[in-house]
Amino acid sequence: AYQDQLHEAKRFMESYNHFLVVSHIHPDGDAASSTCAIGLILDFLGKPYTLMNEGAVPGKLSYLKGFDQIVNYTLSDRNYSFDAVISVDCADFERMGETVKLFPKDIPLLNIDHHPTNDQFGTVNLVEPQAAATAEILFDLVEYIQIPWSKELSDCIYTGLLTDTGGFRYSNTSSKVMKAASQLLDYGTDGYELSDRLLEQTTRAHVELLKKSLNSLSFAHDDQIAWVTVGKEDMRETGAMQEDLEGIVNYPRNIAGVEVGMLFKEMMDGTVKCSFRSAGKADVARIAQKFGGGGHVRAAGATLKAPLTQAIEMVVEEVKRALDA
Ligand code: 5GP
Ligand code: MN
Ligand code: MN
């Protein structure tokens, strides 16, 4: 049961001495804020730790307490000592990216996550697919350990809830999420400030990239499938970074009549990252899994080793099949 998982997670954190805290490659708001929240929890327990992920943390999250401590694996000297790993917001071992090169496969690992495709890869697993965000699970863990709430901790948890629910709008916005958010406002979080910073404010690079990607808008299957693409040259010409892609996949997905919206991004290494969003009919986590990815019923992703046009063809075929089933 969930209470037992919380208990085991607490015991895990008390049992080891130095932790490596890892979130998924190209961390989003939930991944980065959960990383920082674990740091604050370990501070309370008096345990030293290293915070890490592969890929840069979006700069707009710089207000998170611990943001400056998060090590970018790619740029690090890769020389750390720790006796246990805590992963947050990772559905499987591969989601940690290159950071896994830092430890043996059999190291004690606490897996904290909310993806239904999570394969329980930890030694201890705190996995709750009902949770809207990994941060929601950490809200429960903080209450379970009875850590006094600070504004810093509250801001971390609120950030994960806010970003993974798309500003408390997606179908994962439960009454439990709203109750937790309400408490966090009482603990000092400025909800307006965070919404404005994370959901309203944008960058010129993002808007220029949006402009280009919308030119590629395409449809299939009686307009039930829609997608946009972002090529390598689009990134170069607009000076956009990975974080500037956020939200673009919602444009095809939000068109009336579209069941599955997608964004295909050409990566520097020649692979294609596909983001899936579903209006509800298709389980895009299952579609993504066919290509080695995963995620949630309505939001998922996968990386394909194929040229862009071929990747689109393969994925669109699979989405058609799912919609016809
Ligand atoms: P996004 O499209 O925003 O990158 O990701 C949407 C959802 O799918 C997120 O919950 C994310 O964690 C998950 N996801 C994205 N890419 C992958 C992937 O390659 N593998 C897995 N397992 N999940 C992914
Ligand atoms: Mn995430
Ligand atoms: Mn998440």
- Class of CATH domain 2-200: alpha beta
Query: Whose C-alpha lies nearest to ligand 1, atom 16?
Result: 301
Average pLDDT over residues 284-297: 97
Which residue has a Cα nearest atom 12 of ligand 1? 295
- What is the tens place of the pLDDT at every residue in 73-117? 999 998 999 999 999 999 999 999 999 999 999 999 999 999 999
301 CA distance to ligand 1 middle (Å) = 4
Query: pLDDT tens, 27-43?
Result: 999 999 999 999 999 99
pLDDT in tens, 185-217: 999 999 999 999 999 999 999 999 999 999 999
Residue from 275, 276, 315 whose mutation best tests the ligand 1 pocket (most atoms within 8 A of CB): 275
d(C-alpha 154, C-alpha 151), whole Å: 5
Measuring from atom 3 of ligand 1, which residue has the nearest CA?
Answer: 275
Q: Which ligand is nearest to the CA of 133?
A: 3
**Ligand 1 proximity of 261 Cβ (cutoff 6 Å):** no
Q: Answer yes or no: is the C-beta of 39 below 6 A from any ligand 1 atom.
A: no
Q: Residue ranges per domain, the chain?
A: 2-200, 206-324
From 23, 54, 115, mutation site for ligand 1 pocket: most ligand atoms within 8 A of C-beta: 115
| pTM of this structure | 0.95
The one-letter amino acid at 53: N
What is the pLDDT of the chain when averaged over all its residues? 97
Which ligand has the nearest atom to the CA of 275? 1
Ligand 1 neighbourhood includes 26 CB (under 6 angstroms): no
Residue 297 phi/psi, 5° resolution? -55, -45
pLDDT for the residue 215: 98
Pick the CATH number of 206-324 from 3.30.70.330, 3.10.310.30, 2.30.30.30, 3.40.50.1000: 3.10.310.30
Rounded Cα–Cα distance for residues 190 and 155 (Å): 8
Fold match, 2-200 / 206-324: no
Kindly state if the Cβ of 294 falls inside 6 Å of ligand 1. Answer: yes
Q: Considering all CA atoms of the chain, what is the largest pairwise distance in Å, rounded to the nearest integer?
A: 58
Pocket lining: 65 vs ligand 1, CB cutoff 6 Å: no
Q: Tell me the best of 95, 112, 114, 298 to mutate to test the pocket of ligand 1, counting ligand atoms within 8 Å of each CB and taking the most.
A: 95
Q: Whose C-alpha lies nearest to ligand 1, atom 20?
A: 293
Give the per-residue pLDDT at 212.
98
Q: What is the pLDDT of residues 245-260, one digit of tens each?
A: 999 999 999 999 999 9
DSSP letters for 93-151 = GGGGGGGGGGS-TTS-EEEEE--TT----SSEEEE-TTSSSHHHHHHHHHHHHTPPP-H
